Amino acid sequence: MFEAIARSSRRRWTLVVVSLSACVLATTASAHRSDFRPGKWPSSTVIIGYSSEQALDTALRGRGATVVGRAPRLRTVAVRPSGDAASFAADVSGQRGIDFVQPPVARRALVEPALSPAAVPGGSYQWQYAMTGADRVPANVVRSALAVRIGIVDSGADLSAPDIEAKRPLTYNAIDNSRDVTDTVGHGTFVASLAAGSSSNGEGVAGVAGEARLITIKSSAAGMFTDFELAAGIAYAVDNGAKVVNLSLGGTKSSMTEVRALEYALAKDVLVIAAAGNEAQRGNPVEYPAALLQPVGSNGVGGYGLAVGATTMTGARAAFSNYGSYISLAAPGEDVFGAISKDSSAKQWPRVALPGSTKGLYGYNSGTSFAAPQVAGAAALLWAANSALSARQVADILKQTASGGGQWNPELGYGVINVAAAVEVARNTPAVSLRAFKYKDTVRLSWRGSTRRERAYRLLTLGPNDEDQVLVPSTTDSSQTIEGKGGGTHAFVVESLDGAGAVIARSAPALVTLGQAKSSLTLTPFKFKDRGKRYSVVVGMLNANAPDVKLGRRMIRLEQLMRGRWRFVAYQWTDAAGRVIWVVPKGRYTIRAIFKESSELRAANSRALTVSGF
């Protein structure tokens, strides 16, 4: 029998109910409750909680104490007695109407140690944070980023690293379809900490994205990626709500599998960001997927995402950073500071002692891999500032507010990102967001503007050559149900209009395939050696001609030809990229794979394939 390599792990959802009980300050006399304890009083100040102003005046009268702080809504004061604080506290705690008497309790500011001033180059360990303007982003935007998710497709992450642990990230292993993202390579942990390491846990480093949530995806076991795992990682991030996907990886060739994954992200209006490459001193080759996101020859104009180069502490291009017509912009990438996985090699990831840090591992490293996640974090903050922005608007704002002043050059694209400036522009940029919910031949469209200037909306669909075709000229509604013929993919767009009928903003296209899309299923055999053992496997790939259709969690049935009849052997669920893998046992077999239809996809059978196992 065939053994399934990738088995879906069961999700366990735990509903946690938190009871919030109101704290009511008693208006009747208390029973002389106090947290005062005899002994040496630790402070010259005494904190008193009281039931009424009259009770407080009575308790303090004639005791030689000065009120140095008031919180009247909380019925609490800070008092400095003229004599011994311990004696004063003991005396006052027994008075009628005094709820509690306590010394002040010390609290420390949750400042990230890596951001504190230090006698190191750049003035702090995490010098790149200030250079990109991330330290000047308004606190409310940093907090609002909690609603935004960043997908990090990499070598996994050390979930015990303080700045990642604090985020409690969603995890996925695209190699074996599990939740295990143990990072023995170290790359993914460093990248994740730069993009969205916790900025409020008072430990280690601070990611650019503030409180944004993380999706950590392991697509590499030994520092090497294939397009299969890359595509599965991108699809999983998109399917689980990521608005930004970071790809700190690349190579000199692309593939249709990779292109399909990027098109899927584009169809869902997800911004994909990729590192531009580190081979400037070794021929400066064009790197993919960066050159798919910002096409060669585009000179920074348009594109489907962002290709990011690296700079030094001075803002100049790092010597290793690739350059050319596919560079979108840049971020610090030489000797940047981040979190290190405890499971990684100390030789490859030297540890640096971080004063003020009580746990976790930290260090410096270089590469465009570490410039890209800072841009990903910045993109998340733009959505935190204005959730109605489209991915294209976010990319354009980051470009136009970078250090180049709107001018592009092949060294750094539009220049080094300025996060604070980009956030400010995002807050004041009119935008309209469009969402689509479909069922068979019907789609429900809903939209929302970002300003108070909207007076109406216009609904359009894009024709074969992206020309506008008006469906609804003007409506004050915020939703519309469309019925259409099945099988086709439609691109819907909504525009917000002011009182004079002028266009304020235009949404990103929402791609919707109505009815059942065509699907196909292929089986491909592979043989390889690993640690002295030989393996024979068959990879099944489910494909669809609809960019918006999910390929994950589809059941594939494997059958074997025996004595002239096809017989069931096994079944397996596809991963996020539509892939299944079976190990071929010893012997020779003729097999085929079958996908039964769903509401979104037509049925598909693979061709019969004869395979042999070792």
Query: DSSP string spanning 500-556?
Result: TS-EEEEPPPEEEE-SPBPEEEEEEEEEEEETTEEEEEEEEEEEES-TTS--SS-EE
- Decide yes or no: CATH 3.30.479.30 for domain 518-613: no
End-to-end CA distance of the chain: 14
Report d(CA 228, CA 246) in Å as an integer: 17
- Secondary structure in 3-state letters for 57-104: HHHHCCCCEEEEEEEHHHCEEEEEECCCHHHHHHHHCCCCCEEEEECC
- Per-residue confidence at 487, pLDDT binned at 50, 70, 90? low
Looking up tokens 């020309």, which residue turns up?
Answer: 467
| pLDDT for the residue 11 | 26
Per-residue confidence band for 614, with pLDDT thresholds at 50, 70 and 90? confident
Please report, to the nearest 10 degrees, the dihedral formed by the alpha carbons of residues 380, 382, 385, 391 taken in order.
-90
> What pLDDT, in 10s, does the model give residues 24-47?
222 233 333 344 444 568 888 899
Give me the percent of the chain exceeding a pLDDT of 70. Answer: 92
Length, in residues, of the chain: 614
Per-residue pLDDT tens for 349-366?
999 999 999 999 999 999
Q: Which tokens sit at 276?
A: 């531009």
Q: What is the pLDDT of residues 130-154, one digit of tens each?
A: 999 999 999 999 999 999 999 999 9
Give the span between the Cα atoms of 325 and 445, in whole angstroms: 37
Which pLDDT score is estimated for 221? 77
Structure tokens at 170: 């969603």
Report the pLDDT value the prediction gives residue 428, as an integer from 0 to 100: 95
155-200 pLDDT, tens per residue?
A: 999 999 999 999 999 999 998 889 999 999 999 999 999 999 999 9
pLDDT of residue 16: 26
Three-state secondary structure call for residue 395? helix
pLDDT per residue as tens digits for the range 578-594 = 999 999 999 999 999 99
DSSP assignment letter at 255: -
Beta carbons of 604 and 521 less than 8 angstroms apart:
yes
What fold, for 113-427?
Rossmann fold (3.40.50)
Q: Look at residue 19 and tell me whether its pLDDT is greater than 80.
A: no
HSE at residue 375, side-chain half, CA atoms within 13 A, is: 40
| Catalytic (active site) residue 178 | no
In this structure, how many other beta carbons lie within 10 angstroms of the beta carbon of residue 144? 19
Q: What is the pLDDT of residue 111?
A: 62
pLDDT category at 485 given cuts 50, 70, 90 is low
pLDDT digits (tens, 9 = 90+) for 272-281: 999 999 999 9
Active site residue 490: no
To the query of whether residue 477 is one of the catalytic residues in this protein, the response is no
Environment class of 102 (CB within 10 Å of its CB; exposed 0-12, middle 13-18, buried 19+): middle
Q: How far is CA 259 from CA 234, 290, 457, 509, in A?
A: 11, 11, 33, 19
Say which of 220, 369, 519, 606 is annotated catalytic: 369
167's tokens: 């985020």
Rg of the chain in Å (alpha carbons): 30
The predicted pLDDT at position 15 comes to 23
Marked catalytic residue, from 51, 155, 158, 187: 187
Q: How far apart are alpha carbons 203 and 507 in whole angstroms?
A: 39
Are both 432-513 and 518-613 of the same fold?
Answer: yes
Task: Quote the pLDDT of residue 200.
Answer: 92
Whole-number Cα distances in Å, 2 to 27, 556, 561, 575, 580: 74, 13, 13, 18, 12
Query: pLDDT-based confidence at 107, cuts 50/70/90?
Result: low
Under the banding of pLDDT at 50, 70 and 90, the label for residue 437 is very high
Residue 412 CB-half CA count within 13 A: 26
Say if residue 472's pLDDT is above 60: yes
Burial grade of 256 (CB within 10 A; 0-12, 13-18, 19 or more): exposed
Q: Cα–Cα distance between 410 and 323 in angstroms, integer?
A: 6
Rounded to whole angstroms, the Cα distance separating 600 from 438 reads 10
Within 155-304, strands assigned E span 170-173, 213-218, 244-247, 271-275
CA gap 324, 306 in Å, rounded = 13
Burial of 525 (0-12, 13-18, 19+ CB in 10 A): middle
Distance CA 440, CA 297 (A): 40
Tokens of 217: 């995806």
User: What is the C-alpha separation between 258 and 591, in angstroms, rounded?
Assistant: 27
How far is the CA of 422 from the CAs of 377, 394, 408, in angstroms?
Answer: 12, 9, 17
CB 319 within 8 A of CB 281: yes
pLDDT of 329 reads 98
Q: What is the CATH number of domain 46-102?
A: 3.30.70.80
The answer, yes or no, to whether residue 389 has pLDDT greater than 70, is yes
Average pLDDT over residues 326-335: 98
Strands (E), 380-449: 432-439, 442-449
Q: Residue 8 — very low, low, confident or very high, per pLDDT cuts 50/70/90?
A: very low
Q: Which of 51, 99, 154, 193 is catalytic?
A: 154
**What is the distance between the alpha carbons of residues 243 and 223, in angstroms, rounded to a whole number?**
25
Using the predicted structure, report yes or no on whether residue 331 has a pLDDT greater than 80.
Answer: yes
d(CA 271, CA 293): 9
Domain boundaries, the chain: 46-102, 113-427, 432-513, 518-613
Tokens of 516: 């059942």
Separation of alpha carbons 391 and 567, rounded Å: 48
What residues does 271 pair with on adjacent strands? Answer: 244
For the chain, the average pLDDT equals: 90
- For residue 262, pLDDT over 70 is answered with yes
CATH of domain 432-513: 2.60.40.10
Residue with more model confidence, 15 or 563:
563
Q: At residue 2, does pLDDT exceed 90?
A: no
Q: Tokens for 609?
A: 């394939």
Q: State yes or no: pLDDT of 88 exceeds 60.
A: yes
Amino acid identity at 288: Y
What's the rounded mean pLDDT across residues 299-308? 96
Question: What integer is the mean pLDDT of 227-247?
Answer: 94
